[in-house]
Chains A and B, each alone.
Chain A
Amino acid sequence: MRLNSIRVVVVLPLALSMAAIPLSPAAAADVTISHWQHQSDARAKMVQEFADSYGDAKIDFQSIPYSSYFQKLGAALEAGNGPCVFQLPANILAEFYKRGELDPVPASIMSTADIESTFTPASIKLLKIDGSYYALPTDVQTFMLFYNDDLFKQAGLDPSKDFATWSDLVDAAKKLTTVENGKMTQAGIDIAASPYQWFYAVPTLAYADGLVNDTTGDINYDSDPGYLAWDRITSLVAKDHVDDPQFLAEQSKFTIGKAAMTFKEFTFDGVYRLASDDLHFSVHPAPPFADNAPGKVASTSWSYAVSSKCAVKDDAWKWVAYLTSEDAQKKWIAGGAELPSRIALLSDQTLQQDPNVAAGFKALQSAMPYDSKGWDDAYAIQQEIWDEIVLKGVDVKTAVDKGAADERALYRSKGLLK
Chain B
Amino acid sequence: MARALQFSLYKWLLGAEKTFVGLDNYRRLIFEDGDFHKSVLVTLYFTVLSVLPAIALALFVAVLLNGAGLRFRGIFRTIYFVPVVTSLVAVAFVWRALLEPSFGLVNTVLGWVGINGPGWLASPDWALPGIALMTIWRDMGFYMVIFLAGLQAIPREVTDAARIDGAGPWRSFWYVTLPLLNPSIVLAAVIGVINGLQLFTQTYVMTGSPQRLPGGPLGSTRSVVLYIVEQTFRPLEMGYGSAAAFLLFVLIMIVTLIQFRLIQRKFEY
Q: Could you list which residues of chain A lie within 8 angstroms of chain B, going by C-beta atoms?
A: 1-6, 70-71, 74-75, 77-78, 96, 99-101, 183-184, 192-194, 196, 245-251, 376-377, 379-380, 383-384, 387-388, 391-392, 410, 413-415
Residues of B within 8 A of A4 (CB): 210
Cβ-defined contact, A250 with B210, below 8 A: no
- Interface segment, one of B60-68, B133-141, B188-196, B228-236: B228-236
Residues of A within 8 A of B119 (CB): 245-246, 249
Residues of B within 8 A of A249 (CB): 100-102, 119, 121-122
B83 to chain A, nearest CB (A): 21
> Chain A CB within 10 Å — which of B97, B104, B124, B211 has the most?
B211
Given contacts A2-B210, A194-B211, A392-B124, contact A250 B96 (CB under 8 A): yes
Q: Give complex CA distance A388, B13 in Å.
A: 29
Given contacts A193-B211, A380-B234, A387-B218, contact A247 B124 (CB under 8 A): no
Cβ-defined contact, A71 with B233, below 8 A: yes
Cβ-defined contact, A380 with B213, below 8 A: yes
Q: Does B70 contact A (CB under 8 A)?
A: no
Cβ-defined contact, A78 with B15, below 8 A: yes
Q: Does B79 contact A (CB under 8 A)?
A: no
Q: Does B16 contact A (CB under 8 A)?
A: yes
Q: Does B261 contact A (CB under 8 A)?
A: no
B130 to chain A, nearest CB (A): 11
Q: Give complex CA distance A101, B236 in Å.
A: 15
Closest 10 CB pairs of A and B: A99-B15, A194-B211, A246-B101, A246-B119, A249-B122, A71-B233, A74-B14, A387-B218, A2-B210, A250-B100
Cβ-defined contact, A414 with B235, below 8 A: yes
Given contacts A2-B210, A246-B123, contact A74 B236 (CB under 8 A): yes
Q: Does B212 contact A (CB under 8 A)?
A: yes
Q: Give complex CA distance A79, B216 in Å.
A: 33
Cβ-defined contact, B13 with A392, below 8 A: no
> Chain A CB within 10 Å — which of B96, B123, B212, B216 has the most?
B212
Contact with A along B208-220 (1 / 0, CB 8 A): 0111110011110
What residue of chain B has the Cβ atom nearest to residue A99's Cβ?
A: B15
Q: Could you list which residues of chain B lie within 8 angstroms of chain A, going by C-beta atoms?
A: 13-16, 96-97, 100-104, 119, 121-124, 209-213, 216-219, 230, 233-237
Cβ-defined contact, B16 with A99, below 8 A: yes
Q: Give complex CA distance A413, B25 in Å.
A: 14
Residues of B within 8 A of A96 (CB): 15
Cβ-defined contact, A413 with B210, below 8 A: no
Given contacts A74-B15, A99-B16, A388-B218, contact A250 B211 (CB under 8 A): no
Cβ-defined contact, B14 with A246, below 8 A: no
Residues of B within 8 A of A193 (CB): 209, 211-212
Q: Give complex CA distance A392, B213 in Å.
A: 18
Cβ-defined contact, B213 with A383, below 8 A: yes
Q: Give complex CA distance A100, B14 in Å.
A: 12
Residues of B within 8 A of A392 (CB): 124, 218
Cβ-defined contact, A413 with B235, below 8 A: yes
B121 to chain A, nearest CB (A): 7
List 12 other contacts, CB 8 Å, given A377-B234, A384-B218: A71-B233, A96-B15, A99-B15, A101-B15, A183-B102, A193-B212, A245-B119, A383-B216, A388-B218, A392-B124, A392-B218, A413-B237
Q: Give complex CA distance A345, B233 in Å.
A: 38
A43 to chain B, nearest CB (A): 15
B177 to chain A, nearest CB (A): 44
A276 to chain B, nearest CB (A): 18
Cβ-defined contact, B210 with A5, below 8 A: yes
- Give the contacting residue for A391; candidates B16, B121, B217, B234; CB below 8 A: B217
Q: Give complex CA distance A291, B100 in Å.
A: 38
- Give the contacting residue for B103; candidates A6, A248, A388; CB below 8 A: A248
Cβ-defined contact, A70 with B233, below 8 A: yes
Given contacts A380-B213, A392-B124, contact A413 B13 (CB under 8 A): yes
What residue of chain B has the Cβ atom nearest to residue A79's Cβ?
A: B14
B208 to chain A, nearest CB (A): 9
Can you list 24 contacts pairing A with B, beta carbon distance less than 8 Å? A1-B210, A70-B233, A71-B236, A74-B14, A78-B15, A99-B16, A100-B15, A192-B122, A193-B209, A194-B212, A245-B119, A245-B122, A246-B119, A247-B102, A249-B101, A250-B104, A377-B234, A380-B213, A387-B217, A388-B218, A391-B124, A392-B124, A410-B235, A413-B235
Q: Give complex CA distance A5, B124 in Å.
A: 27
B237 to chain A, nearest CB (A): 8
Cβ-defined contact, B124 with A75, below 8 A: no
What residue of chain A has the Cβ atom nearest to residue B219's Cβ?
A: A384
Residues of B within 8 A of A245 (CB): 119, 122, 217
Given contacts A377-B234, A380-B213, A380-B234, contact A77 B15 (CB under 8 A): yes
Q: Give complex CA distance A75, B232 in Å.
A: 11
Residues of B within 8 A of A379 (CB): 213
Q: Give complex CA distance A192, B122 in Å.
A: 10
Q: Give complex CA distance A388, B216 in Å.
A: 11
Given contacts A248-B103, A249-B100, A388-B218, contact A383 B212 (CB under 8 A): yes
B51 to chain A, nearest CB (A): 27
Q: Give complex CA distance A331, B210 in Å.
A: 26
What residue of chain A has the Cβ atom nearest to residue B233's Cβ?
A: A71
Q: Give complex CA distance A100, B15 in Å.
A: 8
B201 to chain A, nearest CB (A): 13
Residues of A within 8 A of B122 (CB): 192, 245-246, 249
B115 to chain A, nearest CB (A): 15
